[in-house]
Amino acid sequence: MHDTATKPPLTIRLCQPRGFCAGVDRAIQIVVLALKKYGAPVYVRHEIVHNRYVVEGLQNLGAVFIEELNEIPDEHHDAPVVFSAHGVPKSVPADAQARNLFYLDATCPLVSKVHKQAMRHRRHGRHVLLIGHAGHPEVIGTMGQLDEGGVTLIETEADVQNFQPADPEALGFVTQTTLSVEDTAGILRALQERFPALQAPAAESICYATTNRQEAVKETAPGADLYLVVGAPNSSNSRRLVEVAERAGAKMSLLVQRASEIPWSGVGDIATLGLSAGASAPEIIVDEIINAFRERFDVTVELAVTATETEDFPVMRALRDVELTPADMAFVNGTR
């Protein structure tokens, strides 16, 4: 350990808001409360949120992660199964009912809102264009709300040029909630130019938390020698934050899951570090990363507050009789 005199100074610009959004917080609470109320095992279909640390923390509490419902053994058919925050196709709850499973749907209310907007377009006779990333569970879930052939995925501006609708006058769009605001704007402009009759959803699809986290990174990136985003490689909103930081002027931007992934030899001589966390990244890891820098630098943390989030999504009625304590969530939130 160096003494403070020999440690180089480092300013950490810490984004606020960062980390868990209300939908992620609610989804994790649902698994924790289900374990408290019903005991282990509680099955979870797909990663509840895209974060390995969160998943392992819940496994330690007795959650069992599966990809499909047929993985639940017969003797556990009365155990609850939780659907992930990303949402599921309509076929999944139907399958759960056919198997007589008790399920708790932890789909983020803002994702559910996109599902409703997409279904509304269909009710009005429109073909739905979903702007998003192929294979992402949220995209699979949204496409799975609609009839076969009722929706087309648009990933790029090239897709816009190649799309040939049956009726260009009857089109509506929705977007994945975790996209880059700027990338989506480009695709949307291209769509509106080609299809002037394109109908927007009744409300913005990119969620408040995605937008807020991108804005905070945009504000704090200029002049940062290094920008770290805490998040998982399969987390769409976290990967977008890395791109936003680079575009907004950070010299180097990296996605890290834990402090152990920081490439110290490649960090070099830095004076300003930008730090944020994706919507599924726990605060306890942000603390871990700040502490790792404190060991090597004389750190000053500057909190960069760009928005105040007051959203709070309550859990479903079936779990509201169980008390949730700070200790129950300490594995992700730390003990502050």
Q: DSSP H helical segments within the chain, as ranges?
A: 22-38, 52-61, 91-98, 109-123, 137-143, 157-162, 181-194, 208-220, 236-247, 264-267, 283-296, 330-333
Contact between 133 and 224 under an 8 Å Cβ cutoff? The reply is no
Nearest to 38 by CA among 78, 72, 95: 78
For residue 63, the cross-strand partners are 42
Residue 89 CA neighbour count, 13 Å, CB half: 15
Distances (CA, A) of 39 to 43, 49, 55, 107: 11, 21, 17, 22
Candidate list 68, 138, 246, 295, residue with the active-site label: 138
What residues contact residue 23 under an 8 Å CB cut-off, 6+ apart? 85, 108, 109, 110, 111, 207, 209, 279, 313
Is 182 among the residues known to form the active site? no
- Report helix, strand or coil for 199: strand
Contact between 284 and 22 under an 8 Å Cβ cutoff? The reply is no
Largest distance between two CA atoms of the chain: 71
Distances (CA, A) of 113 to 29, 62, 106, 107, 195: 20, 31, 13, 10, 24
Residues 270, 255: Cα–Cα separation, whole Å: 17
Residues 144, 146: Cα–Cα separation, whole Å: 5
Residues 101, 247: Cα–Cα separation, whole Å: 47
Nearest to 232 by CA among 125, 322, 136, 329: 136
- Other beta carbons less than 10 A from residue 292's beta carbon: 15
For residue 172, the cross-strand partners are 128, 199
Residues assigned a catalytic role: 138
